[in-house]
Amino acid sequence: MHNEVSKSEVGDLPFALDLMQDRLWDNERKRRHAKKDDYNIEVLLAVDDSVVRFHGKEHVQNYVLTLMNIVDEIYHDESLGVHINIVLVRMIMVGYRQSISLIERGNPSRSLEQVCRWAHSQQRSDPDHAEHHDHAVFLTRQDFGPAGMQGYAPVTGMCHPLRSCTLNHEDGFSSAFVVAHETGHVLGMEHDGQGNRCADETSMGSIMAPLVQAAFHRYHWSRCSKQELNRYIHSYDCLLDDPFEHKWPKLPELPGINYSMDEQCRFDFGVGYRMCTAFRTFDPCKQLWCSHPDNPYFCKTKKGPPLDGTECSPGKWCFKGHCIWKTPEQSYSQDGGWSSWSRFGSCSRTCGGGVRSRGRQCNNPTPAYGGRDCPGATYEYQMCNTEDCRGPFEDFRAQQCSQRNSYYTHQNTKHTWLPYEHHDDAQKCELICQSKETGDVVFMNQVVHDGTRCSYKDPYSVCARGDCVNFGCDKETGSLKEDDKCGVCGGDNSHCRTVKGTLVKSPKQPAGVLKMFEIPAGARHIQIEETEVSSNNLAIKNQASGNFILNVKGKDNKSRTFIEIGLEWEYTVEDGKKTVKTTGPLHEPIVVLVVPQDEELKSSLTYKYIIHEDLLPMIGNNNVLLEEMDSYEWALKSWSQCSKACGGGIQYTKYGCRRKSDNRMVQRTLCDNNKKPKPIRKRCNLHECSQPGWVADEWGACSKTCGKLGVQTRVVQCIQHLQNGTNRTVHTKYCTAERPEPRRPCNRIPCPAQWRTGAWSQCSSSCGEGIQQRQVVCKASDNVIGQCDGEKPETIQVCKMAPCPGKSPGLVQQAVTSDLSTPKAPWAPSLNSPKNPVNKISKDSCQGDKSIFCQMEVLARYCSIPGYNKLCCESCSKKILPTILTPGSEHAALELRAPEGAILPSPIPPVTLIPTVVPAATSAGNSQVEAPLSALGAEYTQQDSVASNVTSGLATVQGRNSSVTNVGKQHPTENSAGSPESLGIPFNKTSANKHSRVSALASSEVLRRRREDTEEEHTVAT
């Protein structure tokens, strides 16, 4: 359970702020005041991508709202016995990737664990937030378990931060029963018929049946579900607060108005299914039958009717399984009414307290068209023949167990059966017996006779028809009257007396039984204990019958609880000291005995009990101390704290229990609750409230010392100053001024870094002179790009190998020098300055690469594009140099000297690349992958590009906030190598147009090379 936090509810805020609230109401939350006995489950509803795609983004919200409204109605059914509201406080549409990661196919346990942890991560940290949820419901169409599994949930997980959640398979509106069923588990309900005796209700549509058979026209909560819920509901504190109102779209009263039978068939069985039209002899509202156009004579149903309000024929709609006319006068339902009471029957017992009953029927009229059952009880009971039976007292429940001694066998053996009271209130009226010989507890598979006491702790409530009927001490059903401590109905203990004493005796005979004292019939609240540790054993005997109640053999030294002479006794042995207790009253007198284990050892016992003063003469003179029973009364103790700190609040009187004899305040349980005065109220703190304002704390330390991620945070609260000099925090909506920023960037400076160099590459030539390269990167200690001081180390150097055979090194060098200096090759790089190569195309000095992506080998082919060459001038110069300096290549010299405008062969010219850029989906759960370079500018999308369909693809990306999920997708007939377009590299309009001309000239050569060479595929990783 989440921790309880003191809340500033709207009702507790000052009147002055209420005026402000009206102005802000449209955009803010407000409390919905629930009824006193309502429980509110505030639900986070998560809908995964499979559900969103099936129903469509524009329709899924209304669909799931309708579904949850049905769940809410299911929890309003009177058979539950408690009024529970399902309140939707937040809805999340989970994206595709998140949906796939949460649901592990075929593993429901793991899927549920992941869903619950995810739901916990979505929790609003402020318990007063309008979207703070108590319970999460996750809907999916993915198969998270074996075939047929519809839901999964932890039992009794409600209010627990990690266990209050359910995983549900959505397949139409009947899934509402799955959600209600799984939420029932979280509330503590078990399957009907599994560990309880409600298997007979599953076929009648009980919600908690292991195989859910409930339908819209036939569902109820079983008696076991009701009992199990009552066992736990009071411990779920998170359900006690009032929910806030949320402005969800208003839906029609009858959900089927918005959904045809064809649509409901599609929801139930999948795309293509429609209402079955193969046969028309049935009422379409009895059951929804569906078929697929591929096999129209094969019809399917989930054995439930269409939704109420579904059109069944012109002018008619379905309602609770019937096709009725749509008329303004038509009542949606017919509630049931009671018949008159029958006469009381005969008494269930002739003496000792029996019960008689009368009944009525819900047939005046009978509920119809979904109308409510009759409110109230079907049977009414009266106590009868309450006088004691003649002869020795006999426990009625014990009689029913002992009757089985002669014929009932357990484990092929007959036993002596004693009464046993189950700790579960739901099973108090079942006949359960315990073997005297083995201690085994056995259910006898039947309820006790009418008139049997429900519990040995309650002398008046009795069982009737298997249920416990509450009676007061005045023998009236539903009465709250109780006996006082000495048995006076509604008394004030004024006639009660306390009897207590201490006796010390020594054994007169060896191995004899020592009689200590007697306690008379009518005694209550009996306590007997040893004053000091001894090896002696306690024993108790019924004085009237002579039968032992405790320690018949005098050797029982184990603590236990047992039932004798109609009472529950508690015998404890703690640190060697024995104690016996019972609440009474004794129906017959008892004798307390000691069985000595050592003849030299004295026995010392103290005893205490309460008895009515009229029974005192029966005690005799036994050296006892008689005390008058203390009497108590309610007295004013203090005033409660004012409900409001300002603006007028209310405070109430607090009463305490006072002992009359000395006027001292004592524990409240000693006073009679029925006589407690009603609290007095008065107004308080009538002064006006001050206007709340923002108060910001000091900025915290920066999260980083350098880099791009440093942030500072501070606490900003809406504070109201009170007249007594104190402050209180109120909701942020009551501060009208602009809220100060709670976070800001800080230390956004480059981190200190140093140059890091890689190893030199192999020489580009095997003989003569060549080129070696290495990577030089400026990186900080955390492996991010930083700012380095000092000159950048060399990235390229000349290497000299052995002279080439048959060639003159001088001729090669001369040819190269001549080629590089010729003005007819303006695109050729120069070797004069390896550090700052001059870009002959741009005529600007190269200051190094402007992007880390320039170092990718796959992009080297785009160096002939002026815009790319300018962006990656350093890398482009490196890539071209080895080609220029290949020794012995006369072709190279011819190509370098080629006249301007000639067709230049290229391994894979950029015109052949047509990457397909897939726009990112806008679902919340899909991760968005940003383009590596932030240059998807409007300038590029407006120009003529190398491939026109690349332009359109990038235009789509730009319209989706520049988010791409798949870069470099291969066109069916094109190479899939990465391109500068797919990476978002900018080009100016002029240079791109120039390149279009060159690319067009090169296209024929490209096609020829494509037919001859094997295509190589490249994947651009983002």
Binding-site residue set for Zn(2+): 181, 185, 191
Residues 6 or more apart whose CB falls under 8 angstroms from that of 812 comprise 768, 769, 804, 887, 888
User: Is residue 1001 within a helix (H) or strand (E), and if so which, with residue range?
Assistant: helix 989-1012
Long-range contacts (CB closer than 8 Å, 24 or more residues apart) made by 613-622: 613/486, 613/495, 613/496, 613/497, 614/495, 615/520, 615/521, 615/522, 616/497, 618/520, 619/499, 619/520, 622/501, 622/517, 622/518
Instruction: Name, in order, each residue with C-beta under 8 angstroms of 558's C-beta and a sequence gap of 6 or more.
Output: 573
d(CA 687, CA 645): 9
For the beta carbon of residue 800, count every other beta carbon within 10 angstroms.
12
Binding positions:
42, 134, 181, 185, 191, 238, 241
Amino acid at the residue 588: E
What tokens appear for 204 in the block?
């009648």
Q: Which residues are annotated as a binding site for Ca(2+)?
A: 42, 134, 238, 241
Q: Is 568 a catalytic residue?
A: no
Map residue 1022 onto helix, strand or coil: coil
Residue pair 727/750 in contact (Cβ under 8 Å)? The answer is no
**Tokens 């008696």 found at:** 223
Q: Which of 203, 207, 173, 170 is nearest to 74 (CA)?
A: 207
620 in the Ramachandran plot: left (φ > 0), alpha (ψ -120 to 50) or beta? left
Distance CA 986, CA 931 (A): 12
Question: What does the alpha-carbon distance between residue 103 and residue 11 come to, in Å, rounded to a whole number?
Answer: 42
Distances (CA, A) of 502 to 359, 597, 616, 716: 55, 21, 18, 68
Active-site annotation holder among 182, 311, 421, 530: 182
Contact between 37 and 83 (Cβ < 8 Å): yes
Q: How far apart are CA 444 and CA 258, in angstroms?
A: 53
Query: In the 8-state DSSP scheme, what is residue 844?
Result: E
Strands 467-469 and 496-505: unpaired
Give the count of beta carbons closer than 10 Å to the beta carbon of residue 395: 21
Q: Record the tokens describing residue 986, joined without a space.
A: 């900018």
CA distance 789 to 785: 13
CA dist 609 and 622 (Å) reads 14
Tokens 């002398």 correspond to 459
3-state SS of 773-811? ECCEEEEECCCCECEECCCCCCCEEEEECCCCCCCCHHH
Phi and psi, residue 165, nearest 5°: -160, 155
Closest CA to 1006 of 960, 975, 970: 975
Phi, psi angles (nearest 5°) of residue 756: -120, 125
Compute the distance between CA of residue 878 and CA of residue 859 in angstroms, rounded to an integer.
Answer: 13
Catalytic (active-site) positions? 182
